[in-house]
């Protein structure tokens, strides 16, 4: 079943041209991600749209401004702040959001809909791939590269990095810690609150502490990050919304998105988004210490190379039995935590 949402017929933007096709995250997520940086006047508009998401479909720009207690010019600035060129492109995006929501509510075919118990494997595969891909695209849309670069610079020059995560987020923290350690960053991860608090209490203004939690509400992670912050360390939250307690506590935050949560409580699309932003952060750190990065990765690869089989045939291995020779070095091998 297809749904149509009518957009007002005056659908031209502020410059008189037709609006572009709407892509990227939904309007609500855009608003939430930018809300902490908004002025008081724009925040009034944001709260109005979060409470009444379809308001732009029924109100002109002047009427919306009056409802929010602001001016039409402020509404236009608000639209640009959340990534639209003007009010009409915002209305088109809202219409698109409403259409998707109606489709989900009636089980129509849509990216990110929940799995049904009788769905064929091909449909499960397609839906899962679409949802994970969308999570990555939406996360990329919301990444503040200036912020991530700032965090990368601090980590590249800091004395110590602590990483905190519980449950599935601990896996992400461990992966990031391993990568940083292999490029010469003094990094440690703590999946247990008592050990994590002990380490957090020993940090200082030359340290960076990173808390990872998809919900941003894991109490142990919040406690560890709060302890590190009390020592003067730069604190960073990796979570799904800037409004979560973890993000509100941290000095800096990086937002990750998971479009749907299929199988609670361990939706892997959330972890893909976490790994995506952590990988970006890792690469930006590596760029800042490029000389040391290449040296340490090469040393790591050489160290583990005797434990890897080369691509030769079984006959070649038999012929060379008893010989000890290092396999070719590949820098990507240095990222593996254990010999394959």
Are both 161 and 54 inside the same structural domain? no
What is the distance of C-alpha 91 from the center of its chain?
A: 26
Cβ pair 269, 131 in contact under 8 A: yes
In a domain, 13, yes or no: no
Q: How far apart (Å, rounded) are the C-alpha atoms in residues 63 and 75?
A: 10
Tell me, yes or no, whether 160 and 176 share the same domain: yes
Q: Are residues 245 and 163 in the same domain?
A: yes
Mean predicted lDDT score pLDDT of the chain: 80
List, for residues 143-164, the tens digit of each pLDDT value.
Answer: 999 999 999 999 999 999 999 9
133 located within any domain: no
Which tokens in the block code for residue 199?
A: 């380490």
Q: Are residues 201 and 268 in the same domain?
A: yes
Instruction: Measure the CA–CA gap between 269 and 129, rounded to whole angstroms.
Output: 9
Domain identity same for 225 and 283:
yes
Percent of the chain residues past pLDDT 70, beyond the cut: 75
How many structural domains are present in the chain? 3
Q: Which CATH number covers residue 275? A: 3.40.50.10490
Contacts of 243 (CB under 8 A, 6+ apart): 32, 35
Asked whether residue 331 is domain-assigned, the answer is yes
* Complete DSSP assignment for 29-95: HHHHHHGGGS-HHHHHHHHHHHHSTTHHHHS-HHHHHHHHTS-HHHHHHHHHHTT-SSHHHHHHHHH
Please indicate, yes or no, whether residues 152 and 163 belong to a single structural domain of this protein. Answer: yes
Which domain CATH number covers 70? 1.10.10.10
Question: How high is the pLDDT of residue 300?
Answer: 79
Residue that wins the pLDDT comparison between 294 and 213: 213
| pLDDT tops 50 at residue 6 | no
Q: Is residue 175 part of a domain?
A: yes
pLDDT at 334 over 60: no
pLDDT band at 238 (very low <50, low <70, confident <90, very high): very high
Q: Per-residue pLDDT tens for 93-143?
A: 898 887 766 655 544 444 444 566 677 888 878 877 887 788 888 888 889
**What are the residue ranges of helices labelled H in the chain?**
27-34, 40-51, 55-58, 61-68, 72-81, 87-105, 121-142, 145-156, 168-182, 193-200, 219-230, 245-249, 268-288, 290-304, 314-319
Residues 6+ apart with CB under 8 A from 173: 163, 164, 165, 189, 190, 191, 210, 212
Domain that holds residue 306: 290-335
Any domain includes 191:
yes
- Please report whether residue 308 resides in a domain: yes
Q: Clarify whether residues 100 and 153 are in a common domain.
A: no
- Residues 179, 48: one domain? no
pLDDT at 279 > cutoff 50: yes
Q: Is 84 inside any structural domain?
A: yes
Residue finishing a domain among 89, 110, 131: 110
- Looking at residue 263, its pLDDT comes to 43
Do 213 and 276 have their domain in common?
yes
Residues 236 and 215 placed together within one structural domain of the fold: yes
Phi, psi torsion values for 30, nearest 5 degrees: -60, -45
Determine, yes or no, domain membership for 174.
Answer: yes
Q: Is the pLDDT of residue 68 over 60?
A: yes
């Amino acid at each position: 079943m297809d749904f149509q949402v009518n957009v007002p017929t005056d659908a031209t933007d502020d410059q008189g041209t037709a609006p572009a096709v709407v892509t990227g995250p939904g309007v609500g997520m855009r608003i939430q991600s930018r809300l902490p940086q908004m002025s008081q006047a724009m925040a009034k508009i944001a709260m109005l749209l979060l409470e009444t998401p379809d308001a732009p479909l029924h109100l002109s720009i002047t009427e919306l401004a009056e409802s929010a207690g602001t001016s039409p010019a402020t509404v236009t600035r608000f639209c640009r702040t959340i990534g639209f060129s003007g009010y009409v492109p915002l209305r088109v995006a809202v219409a698109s959001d409403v259409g998707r929501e109606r489709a989900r509510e009636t089980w129509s075919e849509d990216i990110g809909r929940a799995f049904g118990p009788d769905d064929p494997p091909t449909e499960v595969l397609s839906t899962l791939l679409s949802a994970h891909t969308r999570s990555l695209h939406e996360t990329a849309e919301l990444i503040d590269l200036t912020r991530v670069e700032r965090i990368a610079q601090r980590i590249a020059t800091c004395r110590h990095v602590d990483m905190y995560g519980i449950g599935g987020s601990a896996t992400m923290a461990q992966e990031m810690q391993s990568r940083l350690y292999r490029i010469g960053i003094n990094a440690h991860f703590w999946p247990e609150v008592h050990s994590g608090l002990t380490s957090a209490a020993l940090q200082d203004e030359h340290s960076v502490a990173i808390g990872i939690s998809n919900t941003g509400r894991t109490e142990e992670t919040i406690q560890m990050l709060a302890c590190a912050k009390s020592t003067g360390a730069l604190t960073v939250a990796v979570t799904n919304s800037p409004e979560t307690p973890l993000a509100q506590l941290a000095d800096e935050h990086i937002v990750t998105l998971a479009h749907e949560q299929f199988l609670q409580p361990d939706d892997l699309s959330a972890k893909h988004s976490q790994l995506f932003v952590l990988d970006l952060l890792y690469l930006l750190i590596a760029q800042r210490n490029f000389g040391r990065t290449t040296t340490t990765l090469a040393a790591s690869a050489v160290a583990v190379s005797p434990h890897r089989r080369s691509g030769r045939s079984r006959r070649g291995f038999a012929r060379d039995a008893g010989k000890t020779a290092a396999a070719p070095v590949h820098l990507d091998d240095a990222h593996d935590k254990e010999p394959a």
